[in-house]
């Protein structure tokens, strides 16, 4: 049947079961927004304060729900404001479809008002980009974009429509095909063949070889990476860990892939990893890394990383194999499928002596009784009072590391953090997306005073949509992680890291119509967080901390994984 081109865009979103879109309108995308008005009962649009906030919200929605996020923006600065969010999603393998519109065909390439080559700009930070010049291709492009974003190693895709393609007078042929059926369309099948979209079926011989290596191991260690979370392979990973009776170290992106309070958990690994994780990595004889790319924050010195072990890498992306750390064996395939096959092939093992030894490497932490407020006290209060399934989004820096160290993440999508790109300003947008996608869950946003200044304008979004997000600011009056490096490595030369400036965060929250609290003691923190849980509206808790609080442990970049600068 014949329908408007813009109507086809909306119908294709409905094909993919999209019910929420984040974005910000502008001149070139007005035809799309005008059509959206006709679909407002079917597609909920969240208007953010800034396009970057919309990009992070769509990303947070995707990570927390397991669905594909969708983000709209106009041309020129609207599109370029998305790029940080696109790169953030790309580095952390988050499936988001970004939809922009550009100037009309006659104006293209003439430096027209708000014209930019966004497909060219976004090419290195997306799985695919599309510039739509022919309206008849809209259904195929939309279906392909969602297939590319969600299939294989997930990631962002960008579609840029020329404005004349979306003109109200333009009609195209269209047939509604639900997403569960449209993967069988000829265009999708051709795309799957040409782009190798289908996850490779694991080689049975490779799985058998790993089973043999496990049988020979006395000191195995499992490494839970972001691929376990993205692939929703947490159940299979847990079964493997328990059958192996092996300690489990967790990367920043692996949070939620294995229960954080499980007896086999050793905590985070790498630069700010626990002593147990880092020492176990150095002393194990078999390291099985699932969905982990061995970034420089994990394998700080690739040459000496897990030097006593045979290293096995399981990853869906063949290009990650041997990219950062040379392996002794690898399996290319979807984490869930590989672990299913492996679980079928191995018996139950017992490595009690090894697991007990590793467990002793993490000393028991005594509760702090300081009168002054510390990061540990802030996080212990949140962990004790918040529901166990609460979603936690973070920005980047000291508070991020403290949050990951002290919270126990038990399921995929419970932790939302920018691991690969390290994006300050990610947290509040991601929390908005998570709350929109999980309206019945408590969402806590942890941030630093430096990060929060970068995205605090999104408080207007929190207030307008009545999102009960609790923002907890670790306010130490400095760019804490940078100051920590300056203290330890740069001879206490604190160049441009002191944040001796406004705003008053409590008054800022109140200016946006939200509740604000300032806390300086553990007792005040408990009262404020209880009040925030009861408020049923957005709240900001300004926690005043000492400027010289540090993240411990710490290993310097490029150093041996057990060469701790701080214990």
Q: Which residues are catalytic, by number? A: 51, 113-114, 163, 481
* 129 contacts: CB under 8 Å, gap ≥ 6: 118, 119, 120, 122, 123, 157, 158, 159, 160
Whole-angstrom Cα distance, residue 413 to residue 349? 30
Helix (H) or strand (E) holding 2, with range, is strand 2-4
Whole-angstrom Cα distance, residue 141 to residue 154? 17
Note the Cα 117 to chain centre separation in Å.
27
Q: Are strands 69-73 and 20-24 parallel, antiparallel or unpaired?
A: parallel
SS3 189: helix
DSSP for 472-526, please give it: EEEE-SB-HHHHHHHHHTSTT---S-B------HHHHHHHTT-EEEEE-SHHHHH
Residue 159, beta-bridge partner list: 99, 130
**What Å distances lie between residue 220 and 312, 345, 354, CA to CA?**
11, 17, 8
Residue 171, beta-bridge partner list: 4
What's the DSSP call for residue 181? Answer: H
Whole-angstrom Cα distance, residue 137 to residue 85? 27
Output Rg (C-alpha) for the chain, integer angstroms. 24
- Helices and strands of the chain, counted as H and E runs: 23, 22
| Residues 370, 511 contacting (CB under 8 angstroms) | no
- Within 142-291, strands assigned E span 157-162, 171-173, 220-224, 248-250, 265-268, 286-290
Whole-angstrom Cα distance, residue 18 to residue 61? 11
SS3 554: strand
| Residues 4, 170 contacting (CB under 8 angstroms) | yes
**What Å distances lie between residue 452 and 89, 117, 445, 461, CA to CA?**
20, 31, 10, 15
Cα 434–Cα 438–Cα 440 angle in degrees, nearest 5: 135
**What Å distances lie between residue 164 and 136, 219, 342, 393, 529, CA to CA?**
13, 63, 53, 39, 51
The candidate with the shortest Cα–Cα distance to 328, out of 479, 469, 214, 493, is: 214
* 384 contacts: CB under 8 Å, gap ≥ 6: none
SS3 3: strand
**What Å distances lie between residue 418 and 91, 484, 512, CA to CA?**
8, 20, 26
């Amino acid at each position: 049947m014949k329908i408007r081109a813009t109507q086809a865009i909306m119908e294709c979103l409905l094909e993919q079961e999209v019910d929420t879109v984040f974005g910000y309108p502008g001149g070139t995308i007005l035809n799309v927004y005008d059509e959206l008005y006709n679909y407002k009962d079917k597609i909920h649009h969240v208007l953010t304060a800034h396009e970057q906030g919309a990009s992070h919200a769509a990303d947070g929605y995707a990570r927390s729900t397991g669905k594909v996020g969708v983000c709209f923006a106009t041309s020129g600065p609207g599109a370029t404001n998305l790029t940080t969010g696109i790169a953030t999603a790309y580095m952390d393998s988050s499936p988001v479809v970004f939809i922009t519109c550009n100037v009309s065909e006659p104006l293209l390439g003439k430096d027209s008002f708000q014209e930019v080559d966004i497909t060219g700009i976004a090419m290195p930070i997306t799985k695919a980009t599309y510039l739509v010049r022919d309206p008849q291709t809209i259904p195929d492009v939309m279906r392909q974009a969602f297939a590319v974003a969600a299939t294989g190693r997930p990631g962002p895709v960008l579609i840029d429509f020329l404005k004349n393609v979306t003109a109200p007078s333009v009609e195209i042929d269209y047939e509604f095909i639900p997403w569960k059926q449209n993967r069988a369309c000829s265009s999708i099948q051709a795309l799957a063949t040409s782009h190798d979209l289908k996850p490779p079926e694991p080689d049975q011989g490779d799985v058998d070889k790993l089973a043999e290596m496990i049988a020979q191991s006395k000191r195995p260690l499992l490494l839970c990476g972001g691929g376990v979370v993205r692939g929703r392979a947490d159940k299979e990973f847990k079964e493997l860990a328990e059958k192996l009776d092996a300690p489990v170290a967790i990367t920043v992106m692996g949070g939620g892939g294995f229960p954080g309070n499980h007896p086999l958990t050793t905590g985070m690994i790498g630069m700010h990893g626990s002593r147990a994780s880092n020492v176990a990595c150095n002393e194990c004889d078999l390291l099985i890394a699932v969905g982990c790319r061995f970034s420089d924050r994990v394998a700080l010195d690739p040459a000496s990383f897990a030097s006593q072990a045979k290293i096995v890498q399981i990853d869906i992306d063949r290009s990650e194999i041997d990219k950062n750390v040379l392996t002794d064996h690898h399996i290319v395939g979807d984490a869930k499928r590989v672990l299913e096959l492996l679980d079928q092939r191995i018996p139950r093992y017992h490595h009690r002596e090894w697991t007990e030894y590793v467990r002793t490497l993490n000393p028991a932490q005594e509760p702090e009784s300081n009168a002054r407020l510390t990061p540990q006290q802030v996080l212990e209060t949140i962990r004790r009072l918040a529901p166990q399934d609460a979603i936690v989004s973070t920005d980047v820096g000291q508070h991020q590391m403290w949050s990951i160290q002290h919270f126990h993440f038990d399921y995929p999508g419970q932790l939302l953090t920018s691991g690969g790109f390290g994006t300050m300003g990610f947290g509040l947008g991601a929390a908005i997306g998570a709350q929109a996608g999980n309206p019945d869950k408590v969402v806590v946003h942890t941030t630093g005073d430096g990060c929060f200044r970068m995205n605090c304008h999104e408080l207007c979004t929190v207030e307008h949509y009545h999102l009960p997000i609790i923002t907890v600011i670790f306010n130490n009056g400095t760019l804490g992680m940078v100051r920590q490096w300056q203290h330890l490595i740069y001879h206490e030369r604190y160049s441009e890291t002191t944040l001796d400036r406004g705003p008053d965060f409590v008054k800022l929250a109140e200016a946006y119509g939200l509740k604000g609290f300032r806390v300086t003691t553990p007792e005040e923190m408990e009262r404020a967080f209880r009040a925030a849980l009861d408020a049923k509206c957005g709240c900001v808790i300004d926690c005043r901390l000492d400027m010289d609080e540090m993240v411990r442990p710490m290993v310097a970049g490029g150093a041996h994984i057990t060469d701790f600068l701080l214990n």
